[in-house]
């Protein structure tokens, strides 16, 4: 089949690579426009645009997929199907109708649970025991189309959103390529999603990533892992933002929420239940470092705590 791939961030690269190595003809990619980065505001191509250029594939960067020039070029390319991974824009109905087999999305959840922009992050924060990836037919309603294929994986107790996305991106890329094979062979069967069990996974905000130390240790642990690497869990210390990249629940004496206990080897913080030991932290204006190393360089005042 003639394919036009749509994707933007790094998590879309395994699928792009799988399709480029398949027997299908990858004639172009669609991605978000170059973005201004850093103080210099230099325009940087998306990871998908960079990989497509390495592969010698035409790159389309519409400001919006309804742009007439983009629609005309896509029509001219005459794709049989447009596989999608994290493209980042809503596709209008008249654009969905251009490919013979439509637009087919790789989504990182077990639909209909966690439709939306942050399914992996929300699954970890909710304490789900497993998640997965679905390949489904894109329809105008959010992530509601028929599902062609899915894979399942347990959520490990130490998984961050980044860990889980990396795993799902690799296995999901192969799944998406297999669905392209099935569509070409005429053997793909789309299964309607059940009406029960629908949940929505909106993009995480920075405000949601703030740690509430009065919550229990398991809930805080899930929030930190669900917000890692982005937007990044945080609290405050002496009025400044203090990022927490990794932590784990521990036993030991109970501490008041946010209260700090240290030794030469560890830094623990009180929660609504058991203490949480911080592993990797990033004080304001500094690089990430081991929590115990940071704590050895601080003279704590009596009663001082995080988030106060």
Binding residues: 109-112
- Residue pair 201/117 in contact by the 8 Å Cβ criterion: yes
The rounded distance, in Å, linking the Cα atoms of 39 and 14 is 30
Strands 82-85 and 2-7: parallel
- Residue pair 88/32 in contact by the 8 Å Cβ criterion: yes
> Which residues sit in the known binding site for (6S)-5,6,7,8-tetrahydrofolate?
109-112
Structure tokens at 177: 């390529």
End-to-end, the C-alpha distance of the chain in Å comes to 59
Instruction: Please calculate the CA angle 115-156-138 and round it to the nearest 5 degrees.
Output: 20
Q: What is the dihedral of CA 305, 279, 232, 214, to 10 degrees?
A: -40
Q: Is the dihedral of CA 212, 214, 220, 226 positive or negative?
A: negative
- Residue pair 277/266 in contact by the 8 Å Cβ criterion: yes
Please list the residues that pair with 88 across neighbouring strands.
none
Is the peptide bond preceding residue 281 cis, with omega within 30 degrees of 0? no
**Edge to edge, what strands does the sheet with 82-85 contain?**
58-60, 25-30, 2-7, 82-85, 103-107, 130-137, 147-154
Instruction: Please calculate the CA angle 170-173-174 and round it to the nearest 5 degrees.
Output: 95
The rounded distance, in Å, linking the Cα atoms of 235 and 228 is 14
């Amino acid at each position: 089949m003639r394919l036009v791939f749509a994707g933007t961030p790094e998590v879309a690269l395994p699928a792009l690579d799988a399709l480029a190595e398949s027997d299908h003809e990858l004639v172009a990619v669609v991605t978000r426009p170059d973005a201004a980065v850093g103080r210099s505001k230099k325009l940087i191509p998306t990871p998908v645009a960079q990989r497509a250029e390495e592969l010698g594939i035409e790159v389309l960067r519409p400001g919006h997929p309804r742009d007439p020039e983009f629609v005309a070029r896509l029509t001219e390319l005459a794709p049989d199907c447009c596989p999608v991974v994290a493209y980042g824009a809503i596709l209008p109905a008249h654009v969905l109708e251009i490919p013979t087999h439509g637009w087919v999305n790789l989504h990182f959840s077990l639909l209909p649970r966690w439709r939306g922009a942050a399914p992996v992050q929300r699954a970890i924060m909710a304490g789900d025991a497993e998640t997965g990836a679905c390949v489904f037919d894109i329809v105008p309603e959010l992530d509601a189309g028929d599902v062609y294929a899915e894979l399942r994986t347990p959520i490990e107790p130490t998984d961050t959103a980044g860990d889980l996305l990396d795993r799902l991106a690799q296995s999901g890329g192969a799944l998406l390529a297999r669905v392209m094979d099935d569509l070409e062979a005429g053997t793909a069967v789309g299964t309607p999603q059940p009406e029960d069990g629908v949940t929505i996974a909106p993009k995480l905000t920075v405000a949601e990533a703030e740690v509430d130390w009065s919550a229990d240790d398991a809930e805080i642990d899930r929030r930190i892992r669900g917000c890692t690497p982005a937007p990044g869990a945080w609290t405050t210390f002496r009025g400044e933002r203090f990022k927490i990249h990794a932590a784990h629940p521990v036993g030991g004496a109970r501490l008041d929420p946010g209260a700090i206990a240290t030794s030469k080897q560890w830094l623990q913080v009180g929660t609504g239940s058991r203490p949480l030991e911080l592993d990797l932290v990033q004080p304001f204006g500094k690089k990430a470092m081991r929590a115990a190393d940071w704590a050895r360089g601080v003279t704590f005042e009596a009663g001082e705590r995080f988030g106060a």
